[in-house]
Amino acid sequence: MTDLALSVKDLQTFFYTNNRCNKALNGVSFDIRKGKTLGIVGESGCGKSVTASSIMQLLPRLSRIEQGSITYHSETEGEIRIDQLERDGAEMRRLRGDDIAMIFQDPMTALNPVYTVGFQIAEALQYHTDLSPKARGEKVVDLLTDMGIPMPEKRAKEFPHNYSGGMRQRAMIAMAMSCAPKILIADEPTTALDVTIQAQIFRLMNQLKEEHGTAIMLITHDMGVIAELADDVAVMYMGNIVEAGTVDEVLRTPRHPYTRALLDSVPVLGRGKDQDIKSIRGATPDPYERPPGCQFEPRCDYATAACQQPQSEDYITDTHRVMCHRYKEIFDNV
């Protein structure tokens, strides 16, 4: 039996606006293993959230998956090609929330303002489980308690506008975890939370992995979170995965200039305010006027004329891959 929970191969998702095409994802491939966490990092606009939306089939109307495959490895039904399911079809609705759940990035707009928070969490339980109304209510209270929300019985009956941003975020996390999904996609799950609540949420996510074998896809900007929680990591830039591997391989021995630049831009605790923090020069290119070769070439300190040619992935080890013409001469002796 395979240990894979989800396989994404050569995924291409395009957005069409005003007779123009934005190739938001241009050949993304990765695997998520059961009971493991894949961290996805990169600058805003690199395609992290589009990848999540493609998996969940929640893309906006003027976008579509042009090529590639998204395969869910179900323990009971075998391989299910998500990219071939209808966005609003019964099969996709069954998978969402039960087998595959998502914690959305924006807590202020993800909850429906006209229903109580408790009702919205219980709705997923009603659709995907056989629990009685009483049992669903008790489960909602337990979930809110696990999220550190005070007076959960009272709070369950309140509307989203009664919640702070951090409490809305925790309510969304409770909703995503309610059915113990096989795959949990967490898009910046702790953005609005203080560090103590962040630690509590991460403990719950790890508990979900240990008790149910849940595979987690964690989207974040925080390299510290990746180092602490992830087993594997993929670095995205302009709709491509430029480097991927285990956490040790990518964070300890980065081989792509963009990965190295991301790590160099992170302050190091204990070095004081005078430490040298390097910024990445330039700005992300216009997605409608992309560079012909390496997308990072206009901002790269090591770029040569060869970097303007099409690139392919090179495997450094069985698990560590990089998309860079010059990684050997630049980093192998560092």
Q: Let me know: does 300 contact 316? Beta carbons within 8 Å.
A: no
Q: What DSSP letter does each residue of 262-273 carry, written as one string? A: HHHTS--TTS-T
pLDDT tens digits for 176-214?
A: 989 889 999 999 888 767 888 888 888 888 888 888 889
Q: What residues are paired with 69 via a beta bridge? A: 9
Q: Where in the chain is the domain with CATH 3.40.50.300?
A: 1-99+181-200+207-281
* Reported pTM: 0.91
Strands (E), 129-239: 183-187, 215-219, 232-237
Nearest-5° Cα angle at 187, 184 to 189: 90
Task: Kindly state the average pLDDT of the residues 271-296.
Answer: 84
3-state SS assignment for residue 63:
strand
Average pLDDT along the chain: 90
CA–CA distance, 225 with 205 (Å, rounded to integer): 13
3-state SS assignment for residue 31:
strand
3-state SS assignment for residue 298:
helix
- In terms of CATH, what superfamily is 1-99+181-200+207-281? P-loop containing nucleotide triphosphate hydrolases (3.40.50.300)
pLDDT tens digits for 41-61?
A: 998 889 999 999 999 999 998
Residue with tokens 């993929």: 234
pLDDT tier for residue 29 given thresholds of 50, 70 and 90? very high
